[in-house]
Chains A and B, each alone.
Chain A
Amino acid sequence: MNIWLSYLIDSVAFGVTFIYGSTGEILTEKAGHLNLGIPGIMCMGGAGGCLVLNTIGKISMAMVEKGMSPLPGFVFVIAGILGAILMSMLMGLIYSFLTVTLRANQNVTGLVLTTFGTGLMKVIMSKLDHTIYLEGPKEFYRWPFHMRNDPLLYLGVLFYLSIFIALAASYVLYKTKVGLHLRAIGESPSTADAVGINVTKYKYLATIIGSAIAGLGGFYYIMDYSGSREAYLSIEAYGWMAIALVIFALWRPHFTIIGSIVFGFLFSFGSQIVNIEGISINLVMTYLLKMLPYICTIIVLIFTSIRNKRENQPPQSLGLPYFREDR
């Protein structure tokens, strides 16, 4: 395969981690909640999925020992995804209980959630057996390209799901009444409340569904893109990238698909460039290139604030708690 093409496909696959993370974060932010807990939620999503796979992997092995056939692949895939979703929903529930019901400061709560999530994930993952949760089920997640040995390998089940979720999220946000209500809450919760929208319900649902989507990002990274037993150690860093991508995508889930490819491209530029013949760069440059995703995000942030176009701004009430009796 052409080296540039394989690099491009690799970027696309890498970007899927960010698509999940930032689509989830966009839903939350549209409800007016800046969830800095996304890195922790992504970690816990990964841990939840692997925990389930570890359990059913053992069941499947026991069944083989008794002379039965092992569990089919799709059971592994669905159970893992459900595990990831459930665990990250739980994290989302903690966040929304603290910030919506108890009106805690969102930045502070998010940061604690990240500390908690990354810590708990490391504790859980250190107890799991990678030969059970990873080596066998990995192939099922990389279906239909699991037999290949080029980057096409990574475009597995969760890749298609991510594209679907990003497009569906955009559709719901911009083409349905539910999305309109949600965006209204993000702009001005008191106005939305006056119109008769149940602000609390929307905020809870947006945060919890958003968390579920984000959690899949961590799970995808472990099971599919990285597929190694040390994968879980780097999820936190990609979680912060996902938050950056939200700005880069101007709060539109379908833009995250393009944005994630750009991020994936920039992020692995330093390590990919050495493979490409005819290009030789100073090694110092690779460190500068690693900054590019963050710097690009800053530039987009500055650019949108200078242009000050209404529809490209963060939701107006982002980060502010809502209390009906406040003036």
Chain B
Amino acid sequence: MIYRLLKVELYKIFSRPRSYIGFVAIAILVFIFQLALYVDGKTYLTFLIQQLESNFTIEGNILNGYLITYIILQTLIVQMPLMVALVTGDLLSGEASAGTMRLLATKPISRASIITAKLIGGSFYTLLLVIWLGGLALGFGLWIFKPGDLMVLSTDHISIIPAAECLWRFFAACVIAFISLSVVTTFSMMLSAFSDNSIVPIVTTMAVIIIFTIVGTLDVPLFNNIKPFLFTTHMIVWQKLFQDPLPVSKIINSIVIMFAYIITFLSITYYRFIKKDILS
């Protein structure tokens, strides 16, 4: 039964034009980044490493495919939750606003199965989006710029990751990005369970992510105690995969916290949807 429900969910997701906005936007942005860095990458990089060059002679190909991929991921993963929310925020409330939820609930299927199918469908869409971003960025990056050691520039330090270690780190980064986006998927689904309007959960999810990200980025001592409780703080833990030595305990800690958020959001969603009076 779940399989049939899932097929229906996937059909619904991929028959809506808005589901393709994320894929098109990512493709355009990746193309723009690759082109810009191909044309002006050396100037951009010279500006970034001029401080380092005052102390050292730097040899080797810095502007390589792995660096391009890292820059793209770093820039676009921040925007990815918004693209995910556009689809997953609509999964339950969209049915309610269209009046199809009541019809679906009259079928001999449990409400838990309906949510499970929608969750798997939303997660599959999220996974495809992550694969699309990682695949395009890495594939074109390596094809155009060739592989090489990855120089990761942070605000106060530089890490150089050997080329041989880059592929598994990017793969792990995509896995963590998927877990991070699953937090957004379940959060928007939870909001969706409370609303009969498809716009409200989408906009609320986007607003919460923007507010949390800004609060998390601000270097104001007032927010330092709040930051560990914001899920957006842990969603950027994929960046820690590009540190040497690998801060394993911090990464695991963030993953555990994200799973805790996922379970909490899902529990609320199940509880709310199962108890909900479906009137439309």
Q: Answer yes or no: do A and B interact.
A: no
